[in-house]
C-alpha cells in the first residue's frame, strides 16, 4: 500500500484499508449526513477529527488531490485534500480501489440535509445564491468545474445566508491563463440544468411521500399515472439535453417511436427521481448506438417545430378525458389518475411545475376488476391497443398484462384493474364517445 500526502497522521495506518470501503465497520465511521455521489464515500473518525474517504480510480484520485491543493493555494473555498492511498488489496489478495482522503469541513452540510420535511423556497434561493458566488470565485481563479451542482457542494451557515465550498473537483480543470467564454457558459448551463433537477427531485420526494400517505394507495399506482408527464409544460427547458441525447422520443418526432418517451413506471415525470449518472442513456446507447441516424435526427428536428402545439392539444384532450372518466359512477370507475385533477395526490406540485397543461397520460382503475379492464381496452375503436405513448394517435393498454407484466410480484407491481391511456390530438368529443361505448360493453 502506498500513501501520498504532505504529512501523514499515524492513525491513518490503523484504518481497515484491506476492507472495501462499503464494508467498513460502524465503529470507525462518523454519523454525518452524506450527499449524493457517483462514488462510495464514508466519513471516518480519525484523531479527534473527521475525514472523508472516497473510493476512486488511482489516476483520478491523484489528479483531484493535486487540483484541490492548487485551489487551496489560490485561496479557493474547497475541502482540504489529505492523502491518496493506492495499492490496496483485501486479505485474500483481491485488488481494491484507490481512495482520496479529504478533511471533513466542520459544520458543513450537503444541500439535502439543509431542508426540513417541506422545502422552503427561501432556503433554495439562499443555496443557489451561495453556489453562484462560489462559481464566480472559481471562474475568476481560472477553474473550470465541468459538473456544477448542489450535490458537489457543501454549505455552511453564514449569518442569514450560506457559504458554499467545492467538495468534488473530479471533472474540473485549472487554466492559469483564464477561462474562455465558452467554458464559463458551459458551466453556467450545466449548473442551471443540475440545480433545477435537484430541486425538483427534492420537491417531488417531499410531496410524493405526504401525498401517497394521504391517498393510502401504493407507490406503483401513483407512478403509473405519472408516467408521461414530461411535457414541455414543465418549463424545464434546461432538461432538453437529458431528453434529446438518450433517444428519439415519440412526442418529439410527432409519431409513435421506440425510445425515450416510454419506460418503466417512475422512469419519467416531475414526481419521479431521475436515474443517477444517466443510467438510462447508457442503456439506450448500448442497445441502439450513441449517435442517432440522419433520418431519426431529421424527424426530431421536424417534430420539434410543432412540439409545443401538439403537447398543448395532448394536455387539453387528456384533461377533458380525465374529467369525464372521473364523472362516471363509482361502480364503473374506481379511480382516475391524472395530475390535472384536483383529486390527484400530486396535483399541487404539478400545478406549480406544469404551466399550461398536465401532459397526455391518464390512468384509470375499473371497479369491476382486471378482466373488465382487459375487456375495456379491447373494445375501443379510436384508441389503439399498444404499449407506446406520446404520439399524435391515442393509445390504450393494461400495464399489468403488458408493459409491467415483468414486475408482477415486486414492489413495482401495478394494479391489475388499471388501464393506461395515451391521449392523442384527435377530437376530444370523439375520444370520450369511444371510451363511453367501450365502457358500455363491460
For 155-169, write each residue's pLDDT tens digit. Answer: 998 777 889 999 999
Q: What is the DSSP letter of 264?
A: S
Q: How far apart are CA 258 and CA 206, in angstroms?
A: 32
Burial label for 132, CB within 10 Å (0-12, 13-18, 19+), is middle
Which pTM was predicted?
0.49
Mean pLDDT of 172-198: 87
Give the cell for residue 107.
Answer: 459544520
Rg of the chain on CA atoms, in Å: 25
Mean pLDDT of 257-267: 32
Q: What is the pLDDT of residue 117?
A: 42
**pLDDT-derived band at 212, boundaries 50, 70, 90:** very low
For 198-211, write each residue's pLDDT tens digit. Answer: 777 666 555 444 43
Residue whose C-alpha cell reads 458537489 in the numeric block: 152
In this model, does residue 18 exceed pLDDT 50? yes
State what percent of residues in the chain have pLDDT above 70. Answer: 78
Instruction: State whether residue 84 is helix, strand or coil.
Output: strand
β-bridge partners, 100: 54, 84
Q: What is the pLDDT of residue 266?
A: 32
Mean pLDDT of 335-344: 94
Q: What CA–CA distances, in Å, run from 290 to 220, 247, 274? A: 31, 9, 20
Mean pLDDT of 76-93: 93
Q: What is the pLDDT of residue 206?
A: 53
Q: What is the pLDDT of residue 387?
A: 82
For 129-145, write each residue's pLDDT tens digit. Answer: 888 899 999 999 999 99
In this model, does residue 295 exceed pLDDT 80? yes
For residues 13 and 234, the model is more confident at: 13
Q: What is the pLDDT of residue 300?
A: 83
Neighbours of 278 (CB within 10 A): 14
For residues 112 and 394, the model is more confident at: 394
Q: What CA–CA distances, in Å, run from 104 to 41, 154, 342, 371, 419? A: 12, 10, 46, 58, 51
Mean pLDDT of 258-276: 34
Residue 234 CA, distance from chain mean position: 14
CB 99 within 8 A of CB 53: yes
Q: What is the pLDDT of residue 254?
A: 53
Which range among 93-102, 226-235, 429-438 shows the weakest confidence by mean pLDDT? 226-235
Give the cell for residue 10.
Answer: 499515524
In this model, does residue 277 exceed pLDDT 80? no
Q: What is the pLDDT of residue 221?
A: 38
For 361-389, write each residue's pLDDT tens digit. Answer: 999 999 999 999 999 999 999 999 988 87
**pLDDT-derived band at 281, boundaries 50, 70, 90:** low
Q: What is the pLDDT of residue 339?
A: 93
Amino acid at each position: 500500500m502506498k500513501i501520498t500526502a504532505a504529512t501523514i497522521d499515524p492513525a491513518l495506518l490503523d484504518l481497515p484499508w484491506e476492507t472495501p470501503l462499503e464494508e467498513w465497520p460502524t465503529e470507525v465511521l462518523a454519523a454525518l449526513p452524506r450527499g449524493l455521489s457517483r462514488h462510495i464515500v464514508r466519513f471516518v473518525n480519525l484523531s479527534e477529527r473527521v475525514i472523508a474517504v472516497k473510493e476512486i480510480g488511482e489516476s483520478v484520485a491523484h489528479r483531484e488531490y493535486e487540483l484541490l491543493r492548487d485551489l487551496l493555494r489560490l485561496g479557493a473555498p474547497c475541502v482540504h485534500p489529505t492523502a491518496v492511498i493506492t495499492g490496496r488489496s483485501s486479505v485474500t489478495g483481491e485488488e481494491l480501489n484507490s481512495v482520496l482522503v479529504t478533511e471533513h469541513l466542520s459544520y458543513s452540510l450537503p444541500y439535502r440535509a439543509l431542508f426540513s420535511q417541506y422545502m422552503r423556497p427561501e432556503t433554495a434561493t439562499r443555496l443557489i445564491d451561495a453556489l453562484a458566488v462560489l462559481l464566480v470565485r472559481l471562474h475568476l481563479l481560472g477553474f473550470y468545474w465541468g459538473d456544477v451542482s448542489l450535490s458537489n457542494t457543501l454549505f455552511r451557515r453564514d449569518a442569514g445566508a450560506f457559504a458554499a465550498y467545492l467538495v468534488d473537483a473530479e471533472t474540473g480543470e485549472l487554466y492559469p491563463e483564464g477561462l474562455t467564454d465558452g467554458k464559463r457558459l458551459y458551466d453556467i448551463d450545466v449548473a442551471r440544468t443540475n440545480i433545477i433537477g435537484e430541486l425538483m427531485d427534492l420537491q417531488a420526494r417531499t410531496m410524493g411521500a405526504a401525498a401517497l400517505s394521504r391517498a393510502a394507495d401504493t407507490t406503483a399506482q401513483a407512478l403509473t399515472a405519472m408516467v408521461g408527464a414530461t411535457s414541455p409544460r414543465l418549463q424545464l427547458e434546461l432538461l432538453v439535453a437529458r431528453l434529446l441525447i438518450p433517444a428519439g422520443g415519440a412526442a418529439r418526432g410527432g409519431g409513435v417511436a421506440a425510445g425515450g418517451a416510454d419506460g418503466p413506471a417512475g422512469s419519467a415525470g416531475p414526481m419521479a427521481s431521475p436515474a443517477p449518472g444517466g443510467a438510462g442513456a447508457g442503456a439506450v446507447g448500448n442497445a441502439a448506438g450513441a449517435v442517432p441516424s440522419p433520418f431519426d435526427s431529421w424527424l426530431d428536428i421536424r417534430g420539434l417545430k410543432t412540439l409545443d402545439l401538439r403537447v398543448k392539444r395532448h394536455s387539453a384532450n387528456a384533461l377533458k378525458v380525465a374529467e369525464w372518466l372521473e364523472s362516471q359512477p363509482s361502480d364503473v370507475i374506481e379511480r382516475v389518475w391524472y395530475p390535472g385533477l384536483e383529486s390527484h395526490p400530486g396535483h399541487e406540485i404539478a400545478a406549480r411545475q406544469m404551466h399550461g397543461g398536465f401532459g397526455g397520460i391518464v390512468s384509470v382503475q375499473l371497479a369491476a376488476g382486471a378482466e373488465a379492464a382487459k375487456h375495456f381496452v379491447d373494445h375501443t375503436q379510436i384508441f389503439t391497443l399498444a404499449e407506446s405513448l406520446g404520439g399524435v394517435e391515442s393509445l390504450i393498454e393494461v400495464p399489468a398484462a403488458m408493459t409491467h407484466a415483468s414486475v408482477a410480484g415486486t414492489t413495482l407491481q401495478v394494479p391489475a384493474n388499471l388501464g393506461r391511456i395515451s391521449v392523442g390530438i384527435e377530437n376530444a368529443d370523439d375520444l370520450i364517445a369511444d371510451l363511453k361505448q367501450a365502457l358500455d360493453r363491460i
